[in-house]
Amino acid sequence: MGPDSLSEILKALPNRKDDNLMVGYDTTDDAAVYKLSDDIALILTTDFFPPMIEDPYLFGQIAATNSLSDVYAMGGKPIVSLNLVGYPQKSDLTILGDILRGGADKVIESESTIAGGHTIDVDTPVYGLAVAGIVHPDKILTNDGLKLGDALILTKPIGSGLVASGYNSGKTPEETLQNAIKHMTVLNKYPAEIMLRHNAHACTDITGFGFLGHLEEMLADRLGADIFIENVPLIEGAYEVAAQGVKTGGGKRNRQHIIHKVEYHESSERDPYLDALLFDPQTAGGLLISIPHDEKDALMEEMVEAGVPAAYVGRVREAGEKLITLYDKEEDAE
């Protein structure tokens, strides 16, 4: 569902105050955080969706990678997960076994445990996880903690939504789909571990609201950002898919939600295909990290050494008439 619909629904929900609830749904953070003691807070999150690819094992891996990601974005470590499954009971159950095996392999890679789950009979398969993680209450990374002058680092290329949509309509080559799968099955555990060794101020993972949508949530109308389009990494072949006119409903909703807060600098020309990728909803996308500018190079060096395809994509500035300004190149923003 789009961000506009969700915000209206959530505003109307009744709730009770709990002083131990450190992060709830009244913010746009990636997960809920509940304080258990002075040293431990519990991170709670869930995610599930229908298949976007045909291979059931890879679908299970992607869904689990996506579900675990919110814990890493909050600076935490996953400890236990529950499977959330909808599957047609009359279909081949070996396919379901492959989905669950894919998810289990990613949970094991995260060094956490699957403890059970819940399954229902539905017409269209869905799969994901409910995940619990832990973090020190003083070390939680929310998505709106960025500070003036911070550098913005993106740890995975974008374009998975358009690539998957194009594949289902016969417009994405198999090689491009495999390029996307390669990134969608990599846990955000690895850049998160590097991030935590530096003084990151804020973090989010790029999923359904797209790169610019999640950036807008981070800025929270409090600060602005300059984005260097040339630096934003794209899944290899994704631009060519966009150039064939592939679109997604999620990308359209994301654009409508925040386009009034986005501008192209006068030195830059709008490329409609790059534009579509900047709003493209992602599955198992990367982390968007806000870090002091003077720590950018050290962070990036570690990312490169670890094989993380991270990129310096922008910087945090004071809020202006528009929340986000897009520049073709970094030097155009000087």
Confidence grade of residue 109 (pLDDT, cut at 50, 70, 90): very high
Annotated binding-site members: 27-30, 47, 70, 117-119, 205
Domain ranges of the chain: 3-139, 151-333
CATH number for the domain whose boundaries are 3-139: 3.30.1330.10
At residue 8, the pLDDT reads: 74
Which token pair is 217?
């949530």
CA 56 to mean position of chain CA atoms? 22
At residue 4, the pLDDT reads: 64
Residue 213 has, within 13 A of its CA and on its CB side, a CA count of 26
Mean pLDDT of 246-272: 92
Q: Spelled out in words, what is the top-level CATH class assigned to the domain 151-333?
A: alpha beta
Confidence grade of residue 1 (pLDDT, cut at 50, 70, 90): low
Mean pLDDT of 147-154: 98
- Closest Cα partner for 82 from 50, 125, 46, 53? 46
Radius of gyration of the chain (CA): 19
Q: Over 90: is that where the pLDDT of 3 sits?
A: no
The lowest-confidence range among 15-29, 40-54, 252-266 is 15-29
Backbone phi, psi, residue 132, to 5°: -115, 135
Backbone phi, psi, residue 127, to 5°: -150, 145
Annotated binding-site members for Mg(2+): 30, 70, 205
Give pLDDT tens digits for 284-318: 999 999 999 999 999 999 999 999 999 999 999 99
At residue 252, the pLDDT reads: 93
At residue 28, the pLDDT reads: 77
Question: Higher-confidence residue: 3 or 145?
Answer: 145
Reported pTM: 0.94
Q: Over 80: is that where the pLDDT of 2 sits?
A: no
Give pLDDT tens digits for 115-134: 999 999 999 999 999 999 99
Q: At 254, is the secondary structure helix, strand, or coil?
A: helix
Give pLDDT tens digits for 315-334: 999 999 899 999 999 888 87
Residues in CB range of 51: below 8 A, 6 or more apart? 59, 125, 127
Which token pair is 174?
């198999």
User: Are 206 and 156 contacting, i.e. CB atoms less than 8 angstroms apart?
Assistant: yes
Q: At 68, is the secondary structure helix, strand, or coil?
A: helix
Q: According to the 3-state scheme, what is the secondary structure of the chain?
A: CCHHHHHHHHHCCCCCCCCCEEECCCCCCCCEEEECCCCCEEEEEEEEECCCCCCHHHHHHHHHHHHHHHHHHCCCEEEEEEEEEEECCCCCHHHHHHHHHHHHHHHHHCCCEEEEEEEEECCCCEEEEEEEEEECHHHCCCCCCCCCCCEEEECCCECHHHHHHHHHCCCCCHHHHHHHHHHHCCCCHHHHHHHCCCCCCEEEECCCCHHHHHHHHHHCCCEEEEEEHHHCCECCCHHHHHHCCCCCHHHHHHHHHHHHHEEECCCCCCCHHHHHHHCCCCCCCCEEEEECHHHHHHHHHHHHHCCCCCEEEEEEEECCCCCEEEECCHHHHC
Confidence grade of residue 24 (pLDDT, cut at 50, 70, 90): confident
CA–CA gap between residue 273 and residue 239 (Å, rounded): 6
Annotated binding-site members for ATP: 27-29, 47, 70, 117-119
Mean pLDDT of 37-50: 97
Mean pLDDT score of the chain: 94
Give pLDDT tens digits for 183-218: 999 999 999 999 999 999 999 999 999 999 999 999
Q: What percent of the chain has pLDDT over 70?
A: 98
At residue 313, the pLDDT reads: 98
